[in-house]
Amino acid sequence: MKLPHILKILLLFFGLSHCCGCHLSYIVHVGAGQFRMLQGAVPLHQALAEDKLTDEQKEHLRLVGDIKAFGENSLGLSETQNYQTAYLGGAQDPIYLVSASPRDRLSRVTWWFPIAGRMPYLGFFDLAKAKAEKEKLLGKGLDVNIGRAAAYSTLGWFKDPITLNLIEGSTVDLVETILHEMTHTTLYVKGQGEFNEGLAVLVGKVGACQFLSKTYGPAHAFTREAEDAIHDERLFASYIADLFQALEQLYGSDLTHEEKMTRRKKAFDDTLEDFALLKDRLKTDRFDGFGSTGLNNAYLMSIGLYHRHFNLFEAVLEQREHSIRKTLLFFQELAAKNDDLLQSTTEWLQDRQGERSARAR
């Protein structure tokens, strides 16, 4: 299953001496991977002169500046120095994301880092290190999941380069990923992963559709693919939200732990059957891999981090005249006044619905 994972690199030298709650060896590992890429990055014009790139890769590389400009000028995303260089020293090393959850609760194990606060996963450039962390977490009786990141962000602390895996993928994925990352540098709220990722998924997908329509035309195959991706996101978000609601009712019941685990297995089996039916309604293959390696709470929480609240964010977009710029301003104002942004967003939408109902009477 293709996930829009964006790893946040959190290595800040001045924070290391105060990093009581995080693992120093882990930060050094992530930092080494980050600096290896930074040191090997070259300006885009130099990358375009390289013979090793295909014509399609060069076309994608030329498109990067247009995507950034559209995000900044049309969507209201912050200007950064990101994506002005490219790392062509080979395909980006896979970034493995390790996440964990209790077996009888839909909650996340989190890790604390300076500046960024609590994060719902650990990222590794080395699979062996990721597997070692997984074994430690399994030893604590937790559900554990190892996923792979499509890209990463340093949240504006370093100049992130374009990597080969981005320009080797589809045009739609490239646009979506860059706008997703730009959203994080525009608005990132410490310790609220579901809000941060949910907002970035909305801006990435809707912004990609707008950019591709403007650049290639509304009838172009790229634009239609982006529209289909939004269609599938809505359906999958509703499916995941229903699954979470059913599991929360199960885990919150008075059943014994053993009974919950038995019913959990049946719930997992049933939902995979439901998903097989949902796939007939999907227009892309983006969610084809869902559940292919089995289900557990950590895997579902990782999926939910990005997809569970898409329809909530899209409802705000609708209230803000389908303007991403106005939607971002709304959330920036909301973030300045509230601690739990998902809850306050839900309450705001309920209030708006109540006002409309009152006017209709």
Buried/exposed 289-304: b ≥16 CB within 10 Å, e otherwise: ebbeeebbbbbbbbbb
Q: Answer for the pair 61, 53: CB distance below 8 angstroms, yes or no.
A: yes
Fill in the DSSP letter of residue 115.
Answer: T
Checking if the pLDDT of 32 tops 60, the result is no
Checking if the pLDDT of 22 tops 90, the result is no
Checking if the pLDDT of 41 tops 70, the result is yes
Q: How many CB atoms lie within 10 A of CB 232?
A: 20
Q: So what's the pLDDT on residue 306?
A: 94
Range of lowest pLDDT (29-33, 170-174, 223-227, 351-355): 29-33
pLDDT, tens digit, 9 for 90 and up, residues 46-99: 889 878 889 999 999 999 999 999 999 999 999 988 898 888 765 545 678 899
Checking if the pLDDT of 260 tops 70, the result is yes
pLDDT, tens digit, 9 for 90 and up, residues 305-334: 999 999 999 999 999 999 999 999 999 999
Checking if the pLDDT of 9 tops 80, the result is no
Burial environment of residue 121 by CB neighbours within 10 A (0 to 12, 13 to 18, 19 or more): buried
Q: So what's the pLDDT on residue 39?
A: 67
pLDDT, tens digit, 9 for 90 and up, residues 95-127: 788 999 999 999 999 888 766 667 788 888 788
Checking if the pLDDT of 35 tops 50, the result is yes
Residues 6+ apart with CB under 8 A from 271: 243, 246, 291, 295
Q: So what's the pLDDT on residue 121?
A: 83
Reference 63, options 154, 172, 221; nearest CA is: 172
pLDDT, tens digit, 9 for 90 and up, residues 244-256: 999 999 999 999 9
Checking if the pLDDT of 349 tops 70, the result is yes
In sequence order, the β-bridge partners of residue 43 are 85
Domain extents in the chain: 6-360
Q: Which two tokens stand for residue 335?
A: 């973030």
- Of the pLDDT bands very low, low, confident and very high (cuts 50, 70, 90), residue 132 is very high
Checking if the pLDDT of 31 tops 60, the result is no
Distances (CA, A) of 242 to 28, 51, 142, 278, 319: 40, 50, 23, 13, 24
Checking if the pLDDT of 23 tops 60, the result is no
pLDDT, tens digit, 9 for 90 and up, residues 181-229: 999 999 999 889 899 999 999 999 999 999 999 999 999 999 999 999 9
Q: So what's the pLDDT on residue 4?
A: 43
% of the chain residues with pLDDT over 70: 83
Checking if the pLDDT of 160 tops 60, the result is yes
Interatomic CA distance for residues 110 and 107, integer angstroms: 9
Q: So what's the pLDDT on residue 297?
A: 98
Interatomic CA distance for residues 7 and 116, integer angstroms: 12
Checking if the pLDDT of 14 tops 80, the result is no
Mean pLDDT of the chain, nearest integer: 86
Checking if the pLDDT of 27 tops 60, the result is no
3-state secondary structure of 14: helix
- The pTM of the full predicted model, rounded to 2 decimals, is 0.87
Q: Answer for the pair 113, 11: CB distance below 8 angstroms, yes or no.
A: no
